Chains A and B, each alone.
Chain A
C-alpha cells in the first residue's frame, strides 16, 4: 500500500517537472538579430568591432563573431572578446591585415537557436579613427607687449607617425570660459599653434583633435585652461592720453569760438536786411507821424505828368550804332527774342509798336516761332521743301528783327523798309541755281532770299567793299544762325558776293539809320507813311517788299499785294552805299496767306516764285539817295526816288 502511494507521488512529481518547463518554454524565443554597429582602427594596425545585441529572447544568449578574409573561405572566430569591452571583438596585430576585405558576422545564440546578423565588409585602412592628441600644453607668451597663447601637443602614442605609416592632421578650438562659441583653427601637420587677439584677463579653454589623411576625426582632447594676464593698464594709458589731447583741442576750439562769437554769428546767422526805402525814415515811423513819412516818400517827378516824346518811353527805341560786326552779331543773337517780345508792350498805334517784330501781323506771331525755326534750320537740314517756306518766312522775320533791333531803332512812327533780311542772306551763289525744289531748308530759304536780293551779275557793280573781314564775320555768324547744312554746291561761296552782301548790309544799315532819325520825329499814326514789308524773296535774289497799309487790314500773316507800282523791291546797293529799289508792276494779286501761315507747305515756294512776274529789272542801276539813317528803316515814300524803267 505504501509503496503504491510513493510511486504515484513520484509520477506526479515527474509529470510536474515535465510540464512546468514545457509551460514556461512558450515565452522563450530565438534571440533577436544583432547588428554590427561599427568597427574602428586607431592606428591602422589593430581594429575593434562593436555590435548591438538584439532582443534577448528570454534565454541566456551568447554572441559570437565570425569573420572571413577576402581570399579564403576559412571562417575564423573573434580572437578577443574582452579587451574592448562588452559586445566587442578586438583584432590584434597578428590578426589584422590591411588592404584585405573582412566579412564579419555576429551570431547570437541561445538555447533555442541562433540568429545571424547581417554581414559587414570592411577594409581596415578605411576605418581609421585615431585617439586624441596627447600632452596638450598651453602657455602664454608675449609678442612686443601683446600676449598670445602657444598650444603644443603630441600625436597619440599608438599612432606611428614617425615612420610615415599614419599621417595626421590636427585641429584645435579655443573659447572663453563661460561662452558658447568655439573658435576653430586648422593646424595641418604641425604640432604647435599660436593664438592671438586675446582678451586681457580672460580665461580660455583649448582643445585639440586629429585625423588621419583618409579617416575619421578623433575625439577632442580634454580641455586645457589658461588665464591671460592683465595688460589692461597699457591700453588705458593710451586712452587717457587720447582723452587729454582731445579735451585740450576742445578747449582751444571753444575759446576761439568765444573770441569770434560776434563775427561767427554774422557768418552763420546773417542779419535779415531791413527794407531800405529812399526817403523813408525809420525814426519817423517810430515817432508815429504817418503823414510825414509818406510825404517823404512821394517823389516829385513820379509819375511823369508831362508827356514827353513817345520815343523816350518806347522801349524799343534804340540808338543806332554801327559797331564792329562782332558786337552786331552778339546783339543780334541775344536781342532777337527781346525784340520779338518788346513790341507787345509797346504802344499799339497803327504805325508804331511793331518794333523789330515789325508787322505785328507777320512777325509778332512768328517771333516765338522764329527761334524754333532758327533752330530747326540749323539742325535739321533735311526738312522738306514745304517746311522751307515757313522757315524762310520766319527767317526773314528774324532777319528783320536783327536789323531792327541791333542796328536800327525800331521806330514805330516811321515806315520801315524791311529789306534787311538781305543783309543776312547767305551765300548769294544760291541764286545761281534756279529755284528748284530744294531738298533742304537752307537751300530754299537762301534761295529765295538771295535770289531776290542779289542778281549775281550786278553785284560787282554795286558794292563797295569796306572792311571785308568784318562783313565776313557778320555773314558767317548769320549763316551759322541760319543753317548749318549747306548744299555741296553751295560750299563755294563767291567771296565777292559775300563781301558784297556784307557791304550791302552795312550800307543798308547805315543808310536806313540815318534816315530814321528824322523820320523818328514823326509821331505815330502817320497814315501817310508807307510801310514796306519784306514779304518774300523771289528767285532773282530780290527781296519783295510790299507796302503795308497802316490800317490793320491784313489778316494774320496775310499780305495782300496792291496794284500798281510796287517800289518794294530792293534791287541792290550801289557803290555809293545807296539802296536801289526797283519798281515793279505787279500784275497779279496773290493772296499770300498760305505763304505766310502754312508751315510746311510747298506752295509757299510757288508763291514765292509766282508772286512776282515783274520784269527782272535787277540789272538796272537805280540811283538812290544815300541816306545815312540812324536806324535801318527806310521809308520808301520819302527816301528814294522811284526807279522807273
Chain B
C-alpha cells in the first residue's frame, strides 16, 4: 500500500515535470517563423511575375488593368511608415490574416489556369503556384495560432471576396493579361503581409534586438 502511494506520487511528479518542461512556443519564435514563410511567399510571387513578364505580349502592358482593380484594394492599409508604425499589433495581424485569407480562392483559380497557360514557362509557373498554395496554407495556420495568443482584436478579419470567376479569359492574350494582373496584385499583397509580420516581429522582440 505504501509502495503504491510512493509510485503514484512519483508518477505525478514526472507528469508535472513534463508539463512544466513543455512550454508553449514563445510568440517571438512564432512570429519569426511566420515572417520567414511570408518572405518566401513574396519571393515566389516576385519570381512568378518576372517569369511571366519574360514572354509577355507588349500590348498586354498597355491594356493591363490598373492595380486599383485588385480585389483586395478595398482593404485600408497604411500607406507609409508613420502610418504603419502607428497601427496596433492586433490590427496588423488582422490585416495580414485578412489579406492572406483573401488569396485562397484566387490561388485556386491561378493554379487551375496555370495548367493550360499559353506560355513557354508554363511548367515552372505551375510548380511555383503549387508551392505558393502550400506556403499560404501553412502561414494561415500559423497566423491563426498567433491570433489566438494576441487577443480578440487580432481575431477579427475583413472579408475580401474574389469575384473574378473561375475563368481567366477565353483567348490567349486575355488569359495572359489576367494572369499577370492577378500575380501583380498577389505580389503587392504578399509584400504587405511580409512587412506587417516583420514589424510585429521586431516589436515583440524588444529584448532581442538582433531579431530586427
Contact = CB atoms under 8 A, between A and B. Distances in A.
A164 B201 contact: yes
B199 A214 contact: no
Interface in A203-223: 213-214
A181 to B, nearest CB: 30
Interface stretch (A97-105, A231-239, A344-352, A560-568): A97-105
Interface stretch (A155-163, A279-287, A458-466, A498-506): A155-163
A103 to B, nearest CB: 10
Given A70-B67, A125-B191, A213-B39, A163 B85 contact: yes
Contact of A165 (B43, B77, B192, B199): B199
B188 interface: yes
B188 A164 contact: no
Nearest to B73: A71
Interface in A81-97: 93, 96-97
Given A71-B68, A165-B84, A167-B212, A213 B194 contact: yes
Contacts of B80: 45, 93, 96-98
Most chain-A CB neighbours within 10 Å: which of B77, B188, B195, B209?
A: B195
A194 interface: no
Contacts of B42: 214
A123 interface: yes
A527 to B, nearest CB: 100
B81 interface: yes
> Secondary structure of the B side of the interface?
helix
B133 to A, nearest CB: 20
Contacts of A160: 81
* Interface range for A: 20 to 34
A101 B212 CA distance: 27
A163 B199 contact: yes
Nearest to B61: A121
B158 to A, nearest CB: 16
A161 B39 contact: no
B51 to A, nearest CB: 16
B1 to A, nearest CB: 60
Nearest to A103: B66
Contacts of B202: 162-164
Interface string A13-44: 00000000000000000000000000000001
A190 interface: yes
Contact of A45 (B81, B192, B195, B210): B81
A101 B195 CA distance: 17
Contacts of A96: 80
Interface string B65-82: 011100000000101110
A162 B188 CA distance: 23
B46 interface: yes
Point out which of B46, B66, B81, B85 has the most chain A C-beta atoms below 10 A from its C-beta. B81
Interface string B118-154: 0000000000000000000000000000000000000
B188 A123 contact: yes
Question: Quick one: which of A162, A190, A213 has the most chain B CB within 10 A?
Answer: A213
A100 B42 CA distance: 17
B198 A214 contact: no
A189 interface: yes
B43 A214 contact: yes
A189 B202 CA distance: 13
Given A167-B212, A213-B39, A99 B191 contact: yes
Given A45-B80, A70-B68, A165-B199, 14 more contacts: A70-B67, A98-B80, A99-B77, A99-B192, A123-B188, A125-B195, A163-B85, A163-B199, A163-B212, A165-B85, A167-B212, A189-B211, A214-B46, A214-B194
7 tightest A-B CB contacts, nearest first: A164-B202, A164-B199, A97-B79, A164-B198, A164-B212, A45-B81, A101-B67
Interface of B: 39, 42-43, 46, 66-68, 77, 79-81, 84-85, 188, 191-192, 194-195, 198-203, 209-212
8 contacts: A44-B81, A70-B68, A97-B79, A164-B200, A165-B81, A165-B85, A213-B39, A214-B191
